[in-house]
Amino acid sequence: MTPALPLARQPFFKGHGAENDFLLLPDPGHRLRLDAHLVRRLCDRRTGIGADGLLRAVRTTADPEAAAWAGEAEWFMDYRNPDGTTAAMCGNGIRVFARYLVDSGLRPPGALVIATRAGVRQVHVADRSASLQGPVSVQMGRPRLPGSGPVDVTVGRRRWPALHVDMGNPHAVVLVEDLTHAGDLRTAPTVTPASAYPHGVTVDFAVRHSARHLKVRVHERGVGETRACGTGACAAVAALRHAAGEHGTGYGRYTVDLPGGRLHVRVTADGSMELTGPAAIVAQGTLHLAPTALRRPPRARVLART
Ligand SMILES: N[C@@H](CCC[C@H](N)C(=O)O)C(=O)O
């Protein structure tokens, strides 16, 4: 009888931050081989668990991609979009990632450092005794406004000038009068010139509710419209400040309402942003993956002898 390779049993967690939902795969020893096809299947809401993004939790010492940060951070957030592409940063994803580390007992609550493709980020997880869904904050750094020439966003017959904001990932932010003007966002808004974003872009539609309060909808690169986006909330605040002539530095606390909930953005005196909001782990289970999903397939077993 031919020995059969057993399916690989892989634990998973499901979590969300303001309804921006993630599939988290613990992979401390860098054992998983995640190709784009597998990521697409797992993030699909019919063929997999379903998620706006996948977070692989791997030790920086185990994954050559994260080795540069091993001296500063124990854990690397390997973020994947549901279309299989990678992104350097995810504001809600890193907050859910931190919540997982604390809830699993891998780190105590309080301050922790997590590596991302955009560099290391300081995160603060409120003590879980306060609330299982207590707030999680992340230092997002200073937004960059590279100003790479005029960019427009078009939806139907409406066209707006957009501001390019780099939060570790690219955003085109448009300040609109009414969020319904963004349409149903079932397809991506048209961004011109397309050459401005050779690797795609997230489009954020923001309405100024008051000087420090925004309402935002986001069409995420590699995803579609999501219920919330952390980097998008920060990019929208950067655009609001830019429109108000508050360039670069200057303290301020902003409230950002998204379809899935409320996020807070605090801008410190040097212009850095701190993003705060809810983050919760809501489920856990076991995936049954093909042996090819592992770098070292499990040892073959003889299932039956004749
Ligand atoms: N949901 C995220 C952003 C995830 C990455 C994005 N789709 C991209 O491709 O840049 C957030 O909360 O920031």
Q: What is the CA radius of gyration of the chain?
A: 20
pTM here? 0.94
pLDDT (tens digit per residue) in 207-228: 999 999 999 999 999 999 999 9
The verdict on residue 158 lying in a domain is yes
Q: Is 91 annotated as a binding residue?
A: yes
Q: How far is the CA of 3 from the centre of ligand 1 (A)?
A: 43
Exposed (0-12), middle (13-18) or buried (19+): which is 128, by Cβ within 10 Å? middle
Q: Is 168 annotated as a binding residue?
A: no
Residues 137 and 183 in one domain: no
Residues 134 and 45 in one domain: yes
The verdict on residue 302 lying in a domain is no
| Whether residue 222 has its Cβ less than 6 Å from ligand 1 | yes
pLDDT recorded at residue 302: 46
pLDDT (tens digit per residue) in 249-306: 778 999 999 999 999 999 999 999 999 999 999 999 999 999 999 997 656 554 444 3
Q: Is 142 annotated as a binding residue?
A: no
Identify whether the C-beta of residue 55 lies closer than 8 Å to the C-beta of residue 23: yes
pLDDT recorded at residue 296: 77
> By alpha-carbon position, which residue is closest to atom 2 of ligand 1?
90
Q: Give 124's strand partners.
A: 111, 137
pLDDT recorded at residue 129: 56
pLDDT recorded at residue 7: 87
The verdict on residue 170 lying in a domain is yes
Give the active site residue among 173, 206, 229, 267.
229
| Whether residue 221 has its Cβ less than 6 Å from ligand 1 | yes
Identify whether the C-beta of residue 229 lies closer than 8 Å to the C-beta of residue 200: no
**229 is annotated as an active-site residue:** yes
Rounded-to-10 torsion of CA 107, 108, 111, 112: 0
Residues 130 and 175 in one domain: no
Give the active site residue among 49, 90, 115, 167.
90
Residue numbers in the chain where pLDDT is lower than 70:
1-5, 128-133, 148, 248, 297-306
**Which ipTM value was assigned to this complex?**
0.99
Residues 174 and 62 in one domain: no
- What domain count does the chain have? 2
- C-alpha distances in angstroms, 14 versus 50, 54, 138, 175, 279? 9, 10, 20, 33, 11
pLDDT recorded at residue 250: 77
pLDDT recorded at residue 149: 76
Cα–Cα nearest to 277, from 234, 223, 219, 217: 234
The verdict on residue 292 lying in a domain is no
3-state DSSP call for residue 93?
Answer: helix
Q: How far is the CA of 247 from the centre of ligand 1 (A)?
A: 24
Cis-peptide into 297, omega within 30 deg: no
Residues 164 and 245 in one domain: yes
Residues 37 and 85 in one domain: yes
pLDDT recorded at residue 148: 63
The verdict on residue 29 lying in a domain is yes
Q: For residue 15, give both structure tokens.
A: 């979590």
> Which residues lie below 8 Å from residue 241, measured CB to CB, with a gap of 6+?
247, 250, 252, 267
pLDDT recorded at residue 20: 98
The verdict on residue 87 lying in a domain is yes
The verdict on residue 293 lying in a domain is no
- Cα separation, 147 vs 2, whole angstroms: 61
Residues 174 and 76 in one domain: no
Pairing state between β 170-175 and 158-166: antiparallel
Q: How far is the CA of 167 from the centre of ligand 1 (A)?
A: 10
Residues 161 and 128 in one domain: no
Residues 118 and 24 in one domain: yes
Query: What CATH number is given to the structural domain containing 250?
Result: 3.10.310.10
Residues 256 and 169 in one domain: yes
Phi, psi of 102 (to 5 degrees): -75, -45
pLDDT recorded at residue 304: 46
Question: What is the span of the domain harbouring residue 97?
Answer: 11-142+280-285
The verdict on residue 95 lying in a domain is yes
Residues 19 and 125 in one domain: yes
pLDDT recorded at residue 305: 44
pLDDT recorded at residue 287: 97
Residues 214 and 94 in one domain: no
**90 is annotated as an active-site residue:** yes
